Structure 1
Amino acid sequence: MNDANSSMQLTRAADYAVRVMIHLVGRAGEGRVSLPTVAAATGAPESFLSKVLQALTRAGLLVSQRGQSGGFEVSPHGLKASMRDVIEAVDGPIHLNVCLTSGNACARQDWCPAHPVWVRAQEAMLAVLEAARIEELAFGEEKRKASSRSGFGLAGGIAVVPAGHACCRCGEVETR
């Protein structure tokens, strides 16, 4: 089988949407960001990204403003979004198999031995995506970038700041 044609992959739009949200949540409070700036930061083509941004705006995760001082910024709802919220804003509800789309989507589901496995897999995936908060990902990414720039490391996802150095987020100096 060709891995590139796997039906169990997120769409490119969903991938870009997650990148956009992580970027914009990380910049929350800094004002609107233009389409070219978002495209450059996420590595997404502007023409495709404009459709993703429209979907995120329609879902209430972003706020957009047209005009010379226009751009995109995360909404209060978007600040609390999960990866599931973002993916479903762009692609609609997530279903691993057609038998999970509605009660009567598959005539075999009442007796199919695979159906309970699909149900458990779907529930597990949705739980993981729901638990992954964009805000946590954005600030985790910020910490990873700061640690790589400063030469400080990460231990278990937490920035390790040597004694006597200022914390990357709050500026406090560790004195231990």
Structure 2
Amino acid sequence: MRLSSMADYAVVTMTAAARHCGGARVSAAQLADETGLPAPTVQKLVSRLTAAGLLRSSRGAGGGLKLARPAAAITLADIVEAVEGPIALTTCIDQERDSCSLDACCSVKPHWPVVNAAMRGALAGVSLTQLSGGAQ
């Protein structure tokens, strides 16, 4: 399994936001500067991460972005799912995209949910605090 570039960039963006946790709000432009990611990419990610409830955005003087909940309560699975949607290692796990020609005779399909749950569990076991270099 390989994360898409956008999922990878979302993790980088969230770790940068987490380093500001407890401090002043930060702008998308500031996150772009800190991460070296293109500003339009960070803006797109900020929109997705805000929609997923991982970031909170405020307008006006003193506005900007901050984590919507503590870094310890945000996991790698949360971040990946905010950008990629539900974690599904094969298309047969994702009911909306299931178009496998072997569906009717596949002996492995019943086992994929167990593998998928293990993968999601592993990602859910890594907190944003750990990713951002905070306390383990």
**What is the TM-score of this pair, normalised by structure 2?**
0.82
1:68-87 superposed matches below 5 A:
69-76=62-69, 79-87=72-80
1:99-110 superposed matches below 5 A:
99-102=92-95, 105=98, 106=100, 108-109=102-103
Higher relative contact order (CA 8 A, sep 6+): 2
Residues 1:122 and 2:109 aligned together:
no
1:70 Cα shift? 2.7
What amino acid does structure 2 have at the position aligned with 1:130?
A
Report what 1:56 is aligned to.
49
Q: Is 2:91–2:97's contact at 8 Å kept on the other side of the alignment? A: no
1:68 Cα shift? 5.2
Report what 2:40 is aligned to.
47
Report what 2:20 is aligned to.
27
Q: For the structure 1 residues 103 and 67, does the alpha-carbon distance in structure 2 shift closer, same or farther, using more than 3 Å as the test?
A: closer
1:85 Cα shift? 0.8
Segments of 5+ residues of structure 1 without an aligned counterpart are 1-7, 144-157, 159-176
3-state secondary structure, aligned to 1:72: strand
Report what 1:171 is aligned to.
none
Residues 1:13 and 2:2 aligned together:
no
Instruction: Please identify the structure whose Cα radius of gyration is greater.
Output: 1
Query: In angstroms, what is the RMSD of aligned CA positions?
Result: 2.6
What amino acid does structure 1 have at the position aligned with 2:42?
L
| Count of residue pairs brought into register by the alignment | 135
Give, in whole Å, the separation in 1 of the partners of 2:36 and 2:110.
39
Give, in whole Å, the separation in 1 of the partners of 2:87 and 2:37.
22
Segments of 5+ residues of structure 2 without an aligned counterpart are none
